[in-house]
Structure 1
Amino acid sequence: MSTLQIERIDTFSGHRGPVYALENGVDSLFYSAGSDGWVVQWNLAKPDLGKVIAQVDGSVYALKLDSEGILWIGHNYQGIQGIRVSDQTQVFSIPTSGLSIFSIEFVGSTAWLGHNDGMVTVVDVATKSVLKHIKASEKSVRTILVLSANRIAVGYSDGFIRIFDADYQLLKAFQAHESSVFSLAKRGGDLYSVGKDARIKQWGTDYSLVNEVVGHIYAIHDLHFSPNGHWLATASMDKTVKIWETDGLKLCKVLDATRHGGHKNSVNKLIWSSFDDLLVSASDDKNLSVWKIH
């Protein structure tokens, strides 16, 4: 392993249950949410108590900040709520009839919402009206990623990645993991995926397999590239965060409770902030850890 230096510079606590969702904000701000229904704003520049900007019934699995400063909050079974982060006012609400929302992604002037029944709901961002329902599987939609203006990758709990165009047509479907595909990321023209089978996979521009490593002992829930693209972080049910060299997927560091004061339970989500290159991890242990990687 390389001589990468990792420092845990803070732990943010305050959530009353597991934390499932993270989202970068403007500058040093970011947002977290989870099973307690609290949506909390944190400031990496002032690591004091977070500010609860919304409270909803049930769990929150997905957060997404739009270009207008509205945070889209995916309720468990109650649809989407939009909160203006500057003054915490609710701007809109979109019911989705009893479906959990696991992923929110903006595609041009639309928002794609991934549900637990295998449905993708496409919403017009301006009018908040539903434009389309895309049903390509009976299994949950776990993650959505915009690859280009006319390519959207969707990962499902049946282990498939399906590629759609902006007109909602299915262009390609391929078995990527043995079971759930939990997270997708891109770098250059390549697509990266992680899943319940604990593997990290790199796919070329034609979606052929370029590289594969067994990344963790148990399911990998999330992956995130550093702002410069040189490093890849993965978060796992095995309670660890791992840092990889992007080129070749070479393991550099394991962040765990014993050696680095890491998480005591499953790690669910990551964001890598452009503010001071800080990595944030969220866990079932109710805490957020902030890591500085030198």
Structure 2
Amino acid sequence: MASKIQVQKIATLTGHRDCVYTLEPSGNQAKFFSAGGDGLVAAWDLHNPENGELMAQVTTSVYALRFVQDRNLLLIGQNQEGVQVIDLKDKKILKSVALPKVAIFDIIYSLEHNKVFVALGNGSIAVLTADTFELKAMVRKSDQSVRCLALNNNTGELAAGYSDNIIRVFNVSNLELKHELMSHTNSVFTVAYSPDGLLLLSAGRDAHLRVWEVEKAYEERGYVIAHMYTVNHIAYSPDGRFFATCSMDKSIKLWDAQTFKLLKVIDKVRNASHGTSVNKLFWSAHQNQLVSCSDDRTISVWDINLG
């Protein structure tokens, strides 16, 4: 299987003046957003990838963005400065939500539950109402950072990965703690539910990719040593048959989502990939293109031909 997958870099997007930390899809499969250490938030179009459009500029670094499709808004997690709500049509700030002066690592928006969840560097998850973005609650289960969030709409659960090595699974409606998953030996940087909601994938600083069975009370199915160093992000393909991981070891890896077999390694030597840590991925349904961003200040667009 591995040999059949062809990967070709089709664009390198430049314009960021510092590390690019995050990518966020929009409602249009060809459009996505990026942000990073320079405080610039850019929009890109895969039809014409070389020309990014500046959407917002904030005063601190940005690790987290979240697109709100039903209202064409973009939520910007501004480190130390809370969440900014940007109207994308007018490029105006609609609201600034003050939060504790810590890093913001992830943001999840749930229209169904009328909630926004914000992962904070002080170990709290901030809960905002989705309609007015008022701060409703702070749920703190650790004194170490909440690094990542994932929502399972099928089960009404929110998974959160922490720097105390634990994944905590909450009931979305009241943020009651349901499960604590304790296999990781270092910070958990990324959690992702499979598109069918049956599996939770997790990875982080211990470089292990772990697989949890949601319907068996998150019993661990197994793990693979996925990378040489920290795994920063996991992203499923649009059809759910594959997923990609990216790492501080500068590589991107493509995996079979059923068998968890490694299918392809994308790296600097073989594919002229990134020269430093790869921080985030976005796998678009637009011509099955995979987008990656890196500490090297660039965004790469990959044509993934699954043969």
TM-score of the aligned structures, taking structure 2 as reference length: 0.94
Structure 1 position 138, deviation (Å): 0.8
Q: CA RMSD in A?
A: 1.0
Name the residue aligned to 1:190. Answer: 199
Determine the C-alpha separation between the residues in 2 that align with 1:292 and 1:231.
14
Residue equivalent to 2:290: 279
Alignment match, 1:135 = 140
> Partner of 2:270: helix, strand, or coil?
helix
Matches within 5 A, 1:96-135: 96-107=99-110, 108-135=113-140
Matched, 1:163 2:165: no
For structure 1, the 5+ residue unaligned runs are none
State the 1:176 CA deviation: 3.4
Show CA shifts across 1:87-110 (max 9, x none). Answer: 211111101131211010013201
1:266 to 271, 277, 280: 277
Amino acid at match of 2:11: D
Give how far 1:128 is off. Answer: 1.7
Q: Which residue is 2:77 aligned to?
A: 74
Q: CA deviation at 1:273?
A: 1.3
CA gap of 1:116–1:136, structure 2 versus 1, over 3 A, is same
2:38 is the alignment partner of 1:36: yes
Distance 2:34 2:167 in 1: 27
Q: CA deviation at 1:190?
A: 0.7
Paired position in structure 1 for 2:258: 247
CA distance in 1, matches of 2:27, 2:89: 11
CA distance in 2, matches of 1:233, 1:36: 26
Q: 1:257 aligns with which of 250, 253, 268?
A: 268
Matched residue, 1:181: 188
Q: Give the match for residue 233 of structure 2.
A: 222
Alignment of 1:13 onto 2:27: no
Distance in 2 (CA, whole Å) between partners of 1:132 and 1:215 is 36
Q: Which range moves more in the overlay, 271-280 or 74-83?
A: 271-280
Q: Residues of 1 paired with 2:75 and 2:183: CA distance?
A: 29
Q: Secondary structure at the match of 1:176?
A: coil
In 2: Cα distance, 1:94 partner to 1:241 partner: 35
Cα deviations by residue, 1:175-197 (Å, 9 ceiling, x for unpaired)? 13111111111113111111101
TM-superposed CA distance for 1:48, in Å, is 2.3
- The one-letter amino acid paired with 2:184 is H
Question: Residue in 2 aligned with 1:232?
Answer: 243
Cα distance in structure 2, aligned partners of 1:227 and 1:16: 30
The SS at the match of 1:82 is strand
Which secondary structure state, in structure 2, belongs to the residue aligned with residue 2 of structure 1?
helix
Once residues 88 and 52 of structure 1 are traced to their aligned partners in structure 2, the CA distance between those partners, rounded to angstroms, is: 9
What amino acid maps onto 2:63 in structure 1? Y
Equivalent position to 2:209, from 192, 200, 206: 200
> Which letter does structure 2 place at the counterpart of 1:200?
L
Instruction: State the SS of the aligned residue for 2:269.
Output: helix
Identity rate of aligned residues, in percent? 37
CA–CA distance in 2 between the matches of 1:24 and 1:192?
Answer: 20
Write the distance in 2 (CA, Å) between the matches of 1:285 and 1:223.
19
Shift of 1:219: 0.4
1:140-195 CA-partner distances (Å, limit 9, x unpaired): 00111111352111110111111111211111112131111111111131111111
- Structure 2: how far apart are the matches of 1:197 and 1:112? 25
Structure 2 equivalent of residue 213 of structure 1: 224
* Structure 2 CA distance for aligned equivalents of residues 193 and 141 of structure 1: 14
Q: Secondary structure at the match of 2:275?
A: coil
Q: Which amino acid aligns with 2:167?
A: I
User: What count of residue pairs does the alignment treat as equivalent?
Assistant: 294
Looking at structure 1, the residues matched to 285 and 242 of structure 2 have their Cα atoms a distance apart, in angstroms, of 13
1:147, 1:53 → 2: CA distance? 29
Cα distance in 2 for residues equivalent to 1:19 and 1:240:
15
| AA at the equivalent of 2:32 | F
**8 Å contact from structure 2 (residues 11, 50) kept in 1:** no
